[in-house]
Structure 1
């Protein structure tokens, strides 16, 4: 029989082999390393060796740092290939979707260990510890599958070639999959040991993933009324609240030395996170060991951030930027003034230089102007670029946000809850605290228009918590999943925008009062810069509207926008786009598999 644990190409080869009568039992092979469980799974050291391989798994099972939001409304333009962008432009189908998204080899590796623990000798608590790590990774695999497909086949065993019923079974319902994910994470949270390096799964990493998953599933069920699961939403939200509360009593804390934005920045640009009490789980990179990351790509390479994200950051006094006088006419050099310092450590501000003490970088209007600098920095002591900075995977700030959101959704949040969660984050940034009563009495209308599904008595508080989540976790890979669970996919069809341009001509974008770039209609139409002194004019970087890479919303002024959104408009079909289709060849191999609703 054909196992869905193999890649599509292998599946096709196996199908042909079966048709021609070959009886070779592929599924009886041990995974990758050709380990015989009778010879290998003997001691707890064997379990440690085997589970160490989980940390290097790729695909749907991978648990690594997020360093961008390229699949969301936080991006103005992205030049790389994006399945989400292709989907909302009508370019995705079951025959064109990424086939690697339906790949089960890593699940097989995990279940292989879990199915062969009977002969392991040693301390039972240690055996349970490594079993918990395996179940953690199985939960992570299925969490990713649940987000992408909803209902999927659920397996806890390594299948034999004769298990025809299991190999060709239909999808299991979301409720079974979600309950199984939670059960695995509950086991991990109860049995994985709390101590050890934060580069390995601990009790607190397990508890954090439990809280993350329960918040996702609880809010998904609450807002997706078409699922018919709204009545069970609170069960998950209550566990998200209690799990995050337990972590809040475990000794973690927000990194805060009183340096506002600099403290926030160091969480993402440090060469050593081992002693940072905000970090629950991270990946360690080291130049001496030649372990590097790719964070230098976040800056001005293939994408920039959006006006909608920039507008989300509050003023220092806690008032919305979108309620300040003339907010929609502020130039690039002005929009950063008196704003939440997290903005200028996430989005490139005037005066930012990639070299210490170097020449300030100029914005690129062709990208929208809001370049990402979060995760991009130079170590001031070594002048090594950020390829060797440690990267957080789970940090305490997310736990505080989970706690606040879960309680707000449950209707139980108090001002004390806000002070122990959201306001700890605002305090680090130097932003005025959130007042729950005032927020509920006067919800921000811009946020209310973004999230029309929010209608509870805690509407204002929920909206501010969503603002805080987007600001604090910007570019860490959470935004797209948040839009899914909040049933806010319609935000993805809004045409993206960049900076405001008051008129054609020269602009100061480095904050020194001297013009740096100019936007003109064409190379021939230079009247807007005719009065610029020759010395300044000679250094201007020129951009032209007739290049068709961008345009202005009011023709010769306004927000930077992008022709692609005119040529191929975005449309988020809520009847189908909250899931991806299963690759066609998988449905062909197993006719009992049905596509997610709408596909």
Structure 2
């Protein structure tokens, strides 16, 4: 199963239980032909209509996640970061496509016809607003100013259909309104139908979006960031105060982080604010196999980011052993490093243990092979037969959001750090972060922000590696130039004596730089960031059809 087709599956569990009514839904005409008077009659109709939204949930399944960032260097060079991205001609298949927006607005134009109480109606309006917020945020991240359409477009609605672009800030203020309605009207988990959205999941999305928008406004200098940062922290803290969620831990710091992402049942995992559920012979996936064949790899820059076990960066710690070999590089490092990359002794598949870093094969590009979410069980490897489950919203992210938002607001105390960052560190046995003892990393990527914010960003990068957040983070921090760092496209150090341990046919074509680091893309020594890359281009066909649209700068 491909990544795209996997994501476009309804949640397992509770939504599958509604399949007995699926025939009623599938037998209906397309939206443009549905008669609202005959369809929106009762709660079942509202629920069945809203079911189609759930395929848009942001599932973290690790396949090629963060390839558009400084964390990864896939064997296939990312065209966007390489400067060879082709402007699409049509909206179909891009985030500019407004067909989902039309689906959502159709519901809002017709739900009132259902013969149910307002409180019941508002649950499904809350679900619709949740997805409107998500859809518009995704559009704003990629395109900046976008048309804001809050009405159902008919064939005669040309004044709306050919509208110009609404300013970024105005769209995001509407997104916040959508989120607030969803939070206010979605039920608590105990009262929500199984598999459907609840209030805390809406809060998780609100925290994520408000942190992005607040820091974007701060670092792009557009103003009015404080209310968003406050909203991010408040949403995160409301989740934290619920007492319903905590970090997964069995007391094994050397394996708990790795094991968190290879579980077959997240329904009772305390870290899962919202999981993607699967079931044998009912709903399965092929993600584990894809991860083992993806040609992906973490970058040297990502690996260098991990602290040593004394809590100090490699540039300051006497415990750092250097990187002449991967065996040395992982000594005395944050245990999350060894739990994210394949090292000597890792069981790749059913007893096929790694004796040397994989390099010169289709399995990995850099030698830093990604194993997050990668099970060694043959049952998970079998094509489209895995029931490994994935996070949609994970409590660890909530903690990171609270810490960062508070740090940006200037209200991050040691107590805040103890209740967020230090919980994450405790799971893997790392020393606590002590604000008063923080020392600037000489190799810091963010020398112009307070050291506390710098270190919170490091913690976020480490904890959320390969979960698809990194480019969004670089964007909101206005830190795209980090892509220029040559180490973002380098891999392990392959000294001649290390190269000699491999079959010559396997490594003969591997190119290294002057310091013997693997060059993933031999034709270039670094990628070149251009500020136009903070936004994607609008499909050219859309501009041709709508003269009120103007292409993004530089495209």
TM-score by length of 1: 0.81
Indicate whether 1:203 and 2:160 are aligned.
Answer: no
CA displacement at 1:475 relative to structure 2: 0.5
Structure 1 gaps of 5+ residues are 1-28, 508-514, 524-540
SS of equivalent residue, structure 1 residue 245: helix
| Compared CA separation, residues 66 and 480, structure 1 to 2 (3 A) | farther
Aligned to 1:339: 333
Aligned to 2:263: 270
Measured in 1, the distance between the counterparts of 2:231 and 2:211 equals 8
CA displacement at 1:298 relative to structure 2: 2.0
Aligned to 2:136: 142
Q: Which of 103, 106, 109 is the equivalent residue of 2:97? A: 103
- Asked whether the 8 Å contact 1:264–1:342 carries over to 2, the reply is yes
Measured in 2, the distance between the counterparts of 1:363 and 1:290 equals 34
Measured in 2, the distance between the counterparts of 1:330 and 1:322 equals 15
Q: Which of 217, 222, 227 is the equivalent residue of 1:235? A: 227
- Asked whether the 8 Å contact 2:289–2:381 carries over to 1, the reply is no
Indicate whether 1:587 and 2:543 are aligned.
Answer: yes
| Compared CA separation, residues 300 and 445, structure 1 to 2 (3 A) | farther
CA displacement at 1:361 relative to structure 2: 5.6
Superposed CA deviations along residues 102-147 of structure 1, whole A, max 9, x for unmatched, are: 2111111111111101211223222111110011011111110010
Superposed CA deviations along residues 203-244 of structure 1, whole A, max 9, x for unmatched, are: 11101101100000000111113xxx23x0111101111111
- The 5 Å alignment of 1:31-430 reads 31-32=30-31, 34-57=33-56, 62-67=57-62, 68-79=65-76, 85-94=78-87, 100-101=93-94, 102-195=96-189, 196=192, 199-225=195-221, 229-230=222-223, 232-251=224-243, 252-325=245-318, 327-360=321-354, 362-366=356-360, 367-378=365-376, 387-430=386-429
Measured in 1, the distance between the counterparts of 2:194 and 2:427 equals 23
Aligned to 2:507: 543
Q: Which of 504, 507, 517 is the equivalent residue of 1:559? A: 517
| Compared CA separation, residues 200 and 444, structure 1 to 2 (3 A) | farther
| Compared CA separation, residues 437 and 585, structure 1 to 2 (3 A) | same
Measured in 1, the distance between the counterparts of 2:399 and 2:85 equals 37
CA displacement at 1:338 relative to structure 2: 2.0
| Compared CA separation, residues 261 and 128, structure 1 to 2 (3 A) | farther
Measured in 1, the distance between the counterparts of 2:91 and 2:109 equals 30
| Compared CA separation, residues 581 and 224, structure 1 to 2 (3 A) | same
Measured in 2, the distance between the counterparts of 1:266 and 1:198 equals 25
Aligned to 1:494: 485
Aligned to 2:13: none
Superposed CA deviations along residues 434-456 of structure 1, whole A, max 9, x for unmatched, are: 011111xx222222xx12442xx
Measured in 1, the distance between the counterparts of 2:232 and 2:123 equals 22
CA displacement at 1:33 relative to structure 2: 8.1
| Compared CA separation, residues 383 and 291, structure 1 to 2 (3 A) | closer
CA displacement at 1:161 relative to structure 2: 2.1
| Compared CA separation, residues 328 and 358, structure 1 to 2 (3 A) | closer
CA displacement at 1:293 relative to structure 2: 4.0
Q: Which of 454, 470, 476 is the equivalent residue of 2:461? A: 470
Superposed CA deviations along residues 45-103 of structure 1, whole A, max 9, x for unmatched, are: 2111111111124xxxx432241211111113332xx7xx3233332353569752121
| Compared CA separation, residues 198 and 327, structure 1 to 2 (3 A) | farther
CA displacement at 1:248 relative to structure 2: 0.5
| Compared CA separation, residues 213 and 290, structure 1 to 2 (3 A) | closer
| Compared CA separation, residues 497 and 224, structure 1 to 2 (3 A) | same
Superposed CA deviations along residues 443-483 of structure 1, whole A, max 9, x for unmatched, are: 22222xx12442xxxx1111111111011110011011111
Measured in 2, the distance between the counterparts of 1:563 and 1:206 equals 41
| Compared CA separation, residues 44 and 295, structure 1 to 2 (3 A) | same
- Asked whether the 8 Å contact 1:223–1:453 carries over to 2, the reply is no
- The structure with more radius of gyration: 1
Greater shift in the superposed pair: 110-119 or 140-149: 110-119
- The 5 Å alignment of 1:429-468 reads 429-439=428-438, 442-447=439-444, 450-454=445-449, 459-468=450-459
Greater shift in the superposed pair: 255-264 or 352-361: 352-361
TM-score by length of 2: 0.87
Superposed CA deviations along residues 520-548 of structure 1, whole A, max 9, x for unmatched, are: xxx6xxxxxxxxxxxxxxxxx7411xx2x
Measured in 1, the distance between the counterparts of 2:195 and 2:254 equals 25
| Compared CA separation, residues 300 and 344, structure 1 to 2 (3 A) | farther
Measured in 1, the distance between the counterparts of 2:232 and 2:83 equals 35
- Asked whether the 8 Å contact 1:553–1:561 carries over to 2, the reply is no
Greater shift in the superposed pair: 308-317 or 384-393: 384-393
SS of equivalent residue, structure 2 residue 111: coil
Measured in 2, the distance between the counterparts of 1:352 and 1:182 equals 45
Greater shift in the superposed pair: 588-597 or 394-403: 588-597
Superposed CA deviations along residues 1-38 of structure 1, whole A, max 9, x for unmatched, are: xxxxxxxxxxxxxxxxxxxxxxxxxxxx9745843211
CA displacement at 1:373 relative to structure 2: 0.4
Aligned length: 513
Measured in 1, the distance between the counterparts of 2:193 and 2:381 equals 25
